[in-house]
Amino acid sequence: MTFLRKAFQYCLFTAAASVGSVSFSQYNGAVEPPEHLAPGYHAMTEEQSREWLGILAGPVFEGRGTGQLGYVRAAHWVAGKVAEFGLEPKGEAGTYFQFLPVTRQTIDATQSEIVGAADLKIPGTDFGLDRFINQAEIAGKLSFVKLVGNAPKVEDNLRDRIVICVTDEQNAGRATFMLARQRPAAVLRVVETAPSSAPQLRRPRSNPTGTTGTITKQAATKIAEASGLSADWLNVKADDSTSLNATEADLTLKLRIRDEPVAVPNVLAWIPGSDPELRHEYVVIGAHLDHLGNQGGIVYPGADDNGSGSTAILNIAKAMSQNPVKPKRSVLFTWFAAEEVGLVGSAYYCDNPLLPFEDMVCMLNIDMVGRNEEKPQEPASENEDSLHLVGSKKGDLALHDAIEKANKHVNLAFEFDEEGVFGRSDQANYYRKGISVAFLFGGFHPDYHQPGDKPEKINYKKLVSAARLFYLTAHFAADHGRFVMPKDEKQAEKTE
């Protein structure tokens, strides 16, 4: 199907070429952009995209992880670029940033302890938590659990109990997960090595429900003896089976949790519309800037996800600022934070908008437009010029039509079969607010969420084409005005 379409468009291209578009380097079949938008269109280049994405997905920003210095550096770098292009800051207090209320919580081991009856005291250096609820005291009745063998089952109810568990090697990795399903107050797995607590990001819409961690054998032995259990029970022997020992002893984790703010900003920049009557209305163009960052020393550069989208909309920002003709309505560019941890940056913006939603024309989102989709039955070579256009038929179809109109000047091969990913990027939060949206997505490939998602594997022509498509679409949309959701139409009908 794609092949036939391309052959047909090649005929169109040769016809167009014969009327003299010599330096036009878009996909075959594309026609020159409208003259008044041409300077901006041609200001978006592969060369500049390669340079910018090389920085965004390069060593300095270390994969732009939420809560990591690399993300903060990337956000500042983007702010620096848009300032250089002359875009206005639209974040908080005259800056380009909207800071999410994220904190890093760490447990101060020197001021934490576990206490029980008869002066039982375990110092904070003898246990560590990798996940914890935001509570200085976690108390409950004490249970001991031993998990051994294949598919061990604990029949008793552990709800609200403090559980100390010992396991054989086979169950060490999954024990806390298995026990957490019974909703204990806390699970501490006995380990031979010195435990330490992992810092934890506390962010909007996240609410850990359990506390899990590890405890030294020595400390567990002390607790066992204090509650009347023989220390030998904690040893796993060859003929052991899964067992449980519920005690009546009370145990309390006293935690000194330190809470420090972490910089996790959305980046917002604005190009004012040319029409003074209409410029309070605006088109939103978005891309998430964050990726998976540095995880245990392994950097996930996220060149495609979503260095590509971040670079694409940076191209659009520069193009619009340089094009002599501005859109009638304004354009708000948003580089979202914390998308990879659950669309957090866009959710926070939608809950705390800095501009009225009723003035929003539409939202155009770009996430992963730098690679050729690759599936077992679909080699990458078949997807040189294809992108998925997602969600554009869920709202006002006039927006979809505007994208099709823009695509005459780009000629990407659209695919419309990936609606299943609609909820997996930032436009979903705007759609929920009643905004017509469109999401440009390149599809998955073997480097998705892998350390191999590197700049040298990017298809820069496709990236620039995505930018050109939404540059034109944003102009058309900004001249059109608000796209009305079909739901709104029905409501309007009812009230008429």
Residue 367 binds Zn ion, judged by CB under 5 A: yes
What's the CA dihedral at 246, 250, 256, 258 to 10 degrees?
50
Among the residue ranges 48-56, 87-95, 246-254, 301-309, the one whose residues contact Zn ion (CB under 5 A): 301-309
Among the residue ranges 45-53, 141-149, 300-308, 452-460, the one whose residues contact Zn ion (CB under 5 A): 300-308
Q: Which is nearer to Zn ion, 126 or 305 (CB)?
A: 305
Q: Which is nearer to Zn ion, 247 or 308 (CB)?
A: 308
Total binding residues for Zn ion by CB under 5 A?
A: 3
Among the residue ranges 108-116, 322-330, 366-374, 407-415, the one whose residues contact Zn ion (CB under 5 A): 366-374
Among the residue ranges 33-41, 172-180, 359-367, 462-470, the one whose residues contact Zn ion (CB under 5 A): 359-367
Q: In three state form, how does the secondary structure of the chain look?
A: CHHHHHHHHHHHHHHHHHCCCCCCCCCCCCCCCCHHHHHHHHHCCHHHHHHHHHHHCCHHHCCCECCCHHHHHHHHHHHHHHHHHCCEECCHHHCCEEECCEEEEEECHHHCEEEECCCEEEEHHHEEEEECCCCCEEEEEEEEEEECCCCCCCCCCCCCCEEEEEECHHHCCCHHHHHHCCCCCEEEEEECCCCCCCCEEECCCCCCCCCEEEEEHHHHHHHHHHCCCCHHHHCCCCCCCCEEEEEEEEEEEECCEEEEEECCEEEEEEECCCCCCCCCCEEEEEEECCECEEECCEEECCHHHHHHHHHHHHHHHHHHHHCCCCCCCEEEEEEECCCCCCCHHHHHHHHCCCCCHHHEEEEEEECCCCCCCCECCECHHHHCCEEEEECCCCCCHHHHHHHHHHHCCCCCEEECCCHHHHHHCCHHHHHHCCCCEEEEECCCCCCCCCCCCCHHHCCHHHHHHHHHHHHHHHHHHHHHCCCCCHHHHHHHHHHC
Site map (CB under 5 A) of Zn ion, residues 318-357, x = contact: ----------------------------------------
Among the residue ranges 68-76, 213-221, 305-313, 350-358, the one whose residues contact Zn ion (CB under 5 A): 305-313
Contact 443, 367 (CB under 8 A): no
Q: How many CB atoms lie within 10 A of CB 255?
A: 24
Q: Which is nearer to Zn ion, 305 or 418 (CB)?
A: 305
Among the residue ranges 32-40, 65-73, 243-251, 306-314, the one whose residues contact Zn ion (CB under 5 A): 306-314
Residue 429 binds Zn ion, judged by CB under 5 A: no
Residue 314 is encoded by which pair of tokens? 């940076």
Residue 308 binds Zn ion, judged by CB under 5 A: no
Q: Which of 305, 373, 426, 453 binds Zn ion (CB under 5 A)?
A: 305
Q: Which is nearer to Zn ion, 233 or 444 (CB)?
A: 444
Q: Which is nearer to Zn ion, 229 or 341 (CB)?
A: 341
Q: Minimal distance in Å, beta carbon 328 to Zn ion?
A: 31
Among the residue ranges 108-116, 133-141, 180-188, 363-371, the one whose residues contact Zn ion (CB under 5 A): 363-371
Q: Which is nearer to Zn ion, 253 or 437 (CB)?
A: 437
Q: Which is nearer to Zn ion, 396 or 453 (CB)?
A: 453
Q: Which is nearer to Zn ion, 211 or 306 (CB)?
A: 306
Site map (CB under 5 A) of Zn ion, residues 1-40, x = contact: ----------------------------------------
Residue 290 binds Zn ion, judged by CB under 5 A: no
Q: Minimal distance in Å, beta carbon 304 to Zn ion?
A: 8
Q: Minimal distance in Å, beta carbon 439 to Zn ion?
A: 11
Q: For residues 303 and 283, what is the distance between their CA atoms, to the nearest angstrom? A: 26
Q: Minimal distance in Å, beta carbon 57 to Zn ion?
A: 13
Angle 10-14-19 from CA coordinates, rounded to 5°: 145
Q: Minimal distance in Å, beta carbon 176 to Zn ion?
A: 29
Q: Which is nearer to Zn ion, 190 or 287 (CB)?
A: 287
Q: For residues 285 and 74, what is the distance between their CA atoms, to the nearest angstrom? A: 18
| Largest pairwise CA distance in the chain | 94
Q: Minimal distance in Å, beta carbon 424 to Zn ion?
A: 8
Q: For residues 83 and 78, what is the distance between their CA atoms, to the nearest angstrom? A: 9
Residue 330 is encoded by which pair of tokens? 């304004």
Q: Minimal distance in Å, beta carbon 309 to Zn ion?
A: 7
**Residue pointed to by tokens 């501005």:** 326
Residue 306 binds Zn ion, judged by CB under 5 A: yes
Q: Minimal distance in Å, beta carbon 339 to Zn ion?
A: 6
Q: Which is nearer to Zn ion, 306 or 323 (CB)?
A: 306
Q: Which is nearer to Zn ion, 212 or 310 (CB)?
A: 310
Among the residue ranges 69-77, 151-159, 302-310, 476-484, the one whose residues contact Zn ion (CB under 5 A): 302-310
Q: Minimal distance in Å, beta carbon 457 to Zn ion?
A: 16
CA–CA distances in Å: residue 327 to residues 224, 274, 469: 72, 6, 15
Q: Which is nearer to Zn ion, 367 or 396 (CB)?
A: 367
Interacting residue ranges for Zn ion, rule: CB under 5 A: 305-306, 367
